[in-house]
Chain A
């Protein structure tokens, strides 16, 4: 389809940026997470918990100094793409996704990343983190923009997530209890690799609330609050509840290990209140870039995924 300017964001550029995002994500942990864990380490008074937190902070620095991945479980590489409504991609989305797959395979060998992706039944491993539905790419859209934003995320984790169909009668207490249940399940023995950012998806359908919980945990920075004051209050309350659990880093007694709690909501069935909770570990590997139509690339740490448009309500 011919366009007004004839300009496209090139597939080669997408591939190059996707590689660079994988590299940055694997090695350099975003500042909001570092500061949060450092603050916890400084405040902690229990010896064991303090020892663990200080080693985590130390490890961030070793990764920076040596330019080596900060965790050997380099996770499952995945991408979030926010596409401006006026953006044009060379070769369309098929080429876009091919570039991401090629960049991920190259990143696996060259950074290197651990080839974690295997066939779920045969356990076959291409040794490149690419396979069926892998890496996944999630999309959202932005009106009036001609850029594409990509976020690479290396998602660790066999533990630290759960889903529950609650009902309106269970109320906010039901959410509080479920939140504590997931902490009880996964903070003991440090299975969530806490300190963690807890994402809570409320409403929608089962798949929507799971998706929102993961995005809330992974794509909002520490200290960010939901624009709805009632939800923001609940976020504050859940951070406090996490502290009061006294389950700290590795599950040792401490000031708790919730860096932040982020809630996202979606309109749901009138009879239900599905809830999903997701723990994102302190090895939060994430990097974002905005690619403009003229080829300019801006790297940054905050994905700014939850825009007003993404949270739009009703018909407007």
Chain B
């Protein structure tokens, strides 16, 4: 990677078809802007617990369906029995899924993860680089109306009764679905790792004259350059 600062990023735009091919994934660089056509599925802790902690049989052959997942639960309404309409979609914070995400990638062929906040640089090197996956950050993070507009229809919903609307596995047909920012490419580079080096410079200076509080707290991070997870 030649870029060292976020101001050097190319921010190239891509429109990709799902499942996204290895070749297309390899072309993505951190800071690029991605939109998707095809099929994606949603998943968060409820789905992961069921799949990997309870080892329930998947309700559908995920690998045959798509290699793109989205850490979210959509805002949906049931227009008629079994007929769902998605109004808006936004991501939920992804770093909470470190335990289960490698399993989803290894066992079910997921290679494109859409989420919020990204994962740690170590996690990218251990799993995304190894398996050739990319992490796409939603923008904002609350631009749910734009993402909702990109959802053409609900293809299926699985484990609705068991997990509820918010945690169920939604299979969505999408068109021009985006924009997303490439946060981790198949080389394991992290946009946030690059960005935080730039902002940490400033933070350090702001803290210079401010004493530590009188009362400490157990388990607390004191170095402003550190992250909280």
> Is B207's CB under 8 angstroms from A191's CB?
no
Query: A90 to nearest B CB, angstroms?
Result: 31
A245 proximity list for chain B (CB < 8 A): 199, 202-203, 206
> Is B140's CB under 8 angstroms from A193's CB?
yes
Query: B198 to nearest A CB, angstroms?
Result: 4
> Is B87's CB under 8 angstroms from A112's CB?
yes
> Is B75's CB under 8 angstroms from A125's CB?
no
> Is A191's CB under 8 angstroms from B117's CB?
yes
B 113-130 binary contact with A (CB < 8 Å = 1; else 0):
000111000000000000
Instruction: Say if the beta carbon of A79 comes within 8 Å of chain B.
Output: no
Binding stretch for chain B, among A114-122, A286-294, A296-304: A114-122
> Is A68's CB under 8 angstroms from B88's CB?
yes
Bound form: Cα–Cα A246–B142 in Å = 20
> Is B88's CB under 8 angstroms from A72's CB?
yes
> Is B93's CB under 8 angstroms from A191's CB?
yes
Categorize the interface residue count of chain A. 35 or more
Instruction: Say if the beta carbon of B166 comes within 8 Å of chain A.
Output: yes
Given the contacts A170-B213, A191-B93, A252-B195, A47 and B140 also touching, CB distance less than 8 Å: no
Given the contacts A184-B224, A250-B139, A189 and B192 also touching, CB distance less than 8 Å: yes
> Is A118's CB under 8 angstroms from B139's CB?
no
Bound form: Cα–Cα A118–B137 in Å = 27
Given the contacts A62-B145, A71-B144, A72-B74, A253 and B166 also touching, CB distance less than 8 Å: no
- Residues of B in contact, count (CB < 8 Å): 61
Binding stretch for chain B, among A52-60, A214-222, A307-315: A52-60
> Is B145's CB under 8 angstroms from A70's CB?
yes
Closest to A73 in B: B90
> Is A71's CB under 8 angstroms from B90's CB?
yes
> Is A48's CB under 8 angstroms from B88's CB?
no
For chain B residues 1-53, which have a beta carbon within 8 Å of chain A?
6-7, 9, 11, 31, 33, 46
Query: A160 to nearest B CB, angstroms?
Result: 12
Q: Give the secondary structure class of B's interface.
A: mixed
Closest to A185 in B: B228
Bound form: Cα–Cα A177–B165 in Å = 41
Bound form: Cα–Cα A190–B78 in Å = 32
Given the contacts A68-B149, A244-B202, A113 and B143 also touching, CB distance less than 8 Å: no
Bound form: Cα–Cα A71–B74 in Å = 9
Instruction: Say if the beta carbon of A164 comes within 8 Å of chain B.
Output: yes
> Is B195's CB under 8 angstroms from A253's CB?
yes
> Is A177's CB under 8 angstroms from B210's CB?
yes
> Is B76's CB under 8 angstroms from A250's CB?
no
Some 6 contacts from A to B, beta carbons below 8 A apart, are A72-B144, A112-B77, A180-B224, A188-B227, A190-B116, A251-B199
A contact set with B: CB distance below 8 Å: 46-48, 51-52, 55-56, 58-60, 62-63, 66, 68-74, 109-116, 118, 123, 125, 127, 156, 158-159, 164-167, 169-170, 173-174, 176-178, 180-181, 184-185, 188-191, 193, 241, 244-247, 249-253, 281-283
